[in-house]
């Protein structure tokens, strides 16, 4: 089992993290020789781009939770 840590971020901080990870994900995709190809194994940069994309999805979900809480009047 993977060990996990919990961190708290504001919506503004999540926006910065999302943008930074997006930039790195694009860099990894452009550096990869296998990204965007359907056959073959994933190279190192391809794997990093996929991991960055997964992090972006989690950050997006957290941003949505905060926005919904703000609309509903929660803290």
Domain range summary for the chain, segments of one domain joined by +: 11-72
What is the spatial distance between Cα 55 and Cα 63, in angstroms, rounded to a whole number? Answer: 12
Confidence (pLDDT) at 36: 86
Residue ranges of the chain with per-residue pLDDT less than 70: 1, 74-75
Confidence (pLDDT) at 40: 75
Q: Tell how far CA 9 is from the center of its chain.
A: 14
Residues 6+ apart with CB under 8 A from 64: none
Confidence (pLDDT) at 75: 52
Confidence (pLDDT) at 37: 85
pTM of the predicted protein model? 0.81
Confidence (pLDDT) at 62: 96
């Amino acid at each position: 089992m993977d060990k996990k840590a919990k961190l708290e971020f504001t919506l503004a901080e999540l926006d910065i993290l999302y943008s930074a990870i997006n930039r790195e994900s694009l860099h990894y995709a452009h550096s990869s020789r296998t990204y965007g190809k359907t056959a073959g194994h994933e190279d190192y940069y391809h794997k990093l781009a996929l991991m960055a994309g997964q992090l972006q999805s989690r950050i997006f979900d957290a941003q949505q939770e905060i926005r919904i809480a703000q609309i509903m009047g929660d803290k």
